[in-house]
Amino acid sequence: MIVYKTHDWLQAIWKFHTGSTVLSLLKRLAFVFVYVVVVIVVELNFLDFKLKNTPTEFLSTMGILLSLLIIFRTNTAYDRFYEGRRTWGVLVNTCRNLAVYYNAVLGEGRPAEKLFFTKVISNFPFALKNHLRDARNLNDLDETVPGTLAMLQRFDHVPNGVVSQLRNRTELLYKEGVISEGQLINLHDLLVVLLDVAGICERIKSTPIPFSYSFFIKLFITCYIGIMPFMVVEDYGYLTIPAVMLVSYVLVGLEMIGVEIEEPFGLERNNLPLTQLSQVIRVNVHEIFGYNLPTIEKDAAKLGFVIVT
């Protein structure tokens, strides 16, 4: 994700135009440029297709309809992006609440248990991040006691394995009399939220915008750009080329941005910064339990004008 300063327009524009999305956009615009140049040269010098006699209201009406479709498309994609960010906000708060609760319940007399919960709670966001990105990578996770990471290897759904570790150790503390039944119920409610968050993220990822709707918008944009040069060539002449290129930049760019942010958990520049959010949780949980992390790990949780994943 590009974390930017809203008042610094020049730097924001520069960051935007160095991303892979813009490079893909420029490739598409190159095809549009060739097409428009051929149409204008042929129309003005060799063959009159007579489309310039079409009423201007036709192009205006198509533009209005296309604008409504793109607005709906962009809003739908941003809703998915924002729901993903809001869900990860719930995860941040839940991990903090779990850390505060376990730290208060365990007190000063059980350092081994405190270290266990510190690492396992910190492991969950990294496990969820890798799961959403289809990466079976346990290198981000901390080893709690020997064998815990090896145990997670047998899980296809690693976040389930992490929550299982938390739940099993919590039940053990209850049987030992360290926590009361009321505390067990409260911890259960918080642990349930972890898998609720995972389920919401999986729903967002596995339910894309329907293909027919997405395809129709692309087809409409292609048709609109395809007929536009014929409609305005009489008034604009060779200036039709930059005019169509500008319109194409806006329309195709908005569609591509919508495609990029509708799946917010990927590695594109405009996706959510899951690694940074996971690191924020790790730093917060360690601070709550009283453990200090290296400065480099704390700095990884800070925002700046950088591209974070």
User: How is residue 40 written in tokens?
Assistant: 């204008």
**pLDDT at position 164:** 94
Q: Is the pLDDT of residue 281 over 80?
A: yes
**pLDDT at position 302:** 74
Q: Is the pLDDT of residue 31 over 60?
A: yes
CA distance 84 to 201: 6
Q: What is the per-residue burial (b if ≥16 Cβ within 10 Å, else e) of 238-252? A: eebbebbeebbbebb
CA distance 265 to 273: 8
Q: Is the pLDDT of residue 307 over 80?
A: no
**Residues 148-167: pLDDT tens digits?**
888 888 898 999 999 999 99
**pLDDT at position 172:** 93
Prediction pTM value: 0.85
Bridge partners, residue 306, by sequence: 3
Decide: 248 and 226 in contact? Cβ < 8 Å: no
**What's the average model confidence in pLDDT over 294-309?**
67
**Residues 177-231: pLDDT tens digits?**
999 999 999 999 999 999 999 999 999 999 888 888 888 899 999 999 998 888 8
**Widest pairwise Cα distance in the chain:** 92
Q: Is the pLDDT of residue 13 over 70?
A: no
Q: Is the pLDDT of residue 301 over 90?
A: no
Residue 127 vs residue 50, higher pLDDT: 127
Name the percent of the chain in helix, strand, coil, to the closest 5. Answer: 75, 0, 25
Q: Kindly report the backbone phi and psi dihedral angles of residue 293, in degrees, each rounded to the nearest multiple of 5, phi listed first.
A: -100, 155
User: How is residue 88 written in tokens?
Assistant: 């990860």
Sort 187 into a burial class: Cβ within 10 Å, 0-12 / 13-18 / 19+.
buried
Decide: 298 and 283 in contact? Cβ < 8 Å: yes
User: How is residue 112 written in tokens?
Assistant: 């081994």
pLDDT band at 115 (very low <50, low <70, confident <90, very high): very high
Decide: 241 and 36 in contact? Cβ < 8 Å: yes
CA distance 86 to 91: 9
**pLDDT at position 4:** 52
Q: From the CB of residue 48, how many other CB atoms can be counted at a distance below 10 Å?
A: 13
Q: Is the pLDDT of residue 29 over 90?
A: yes
At which residue do the structure tokens 């939220």 appear? 193
CA distance 167 to 308: 32
Q: Give the range with max mean pLDDT: 17-31, 186-200, 268-282.
A: 186-200
3-class SS of residue 142: coil
pLDDT band at 305 (very low <50, low <70, confident <90, very high): very low
**pLDDT at position 23:** 80
**Residues 99-108: pLDDT tens digits?**
999 999 998 8
**pLDDT at position 16:** 61
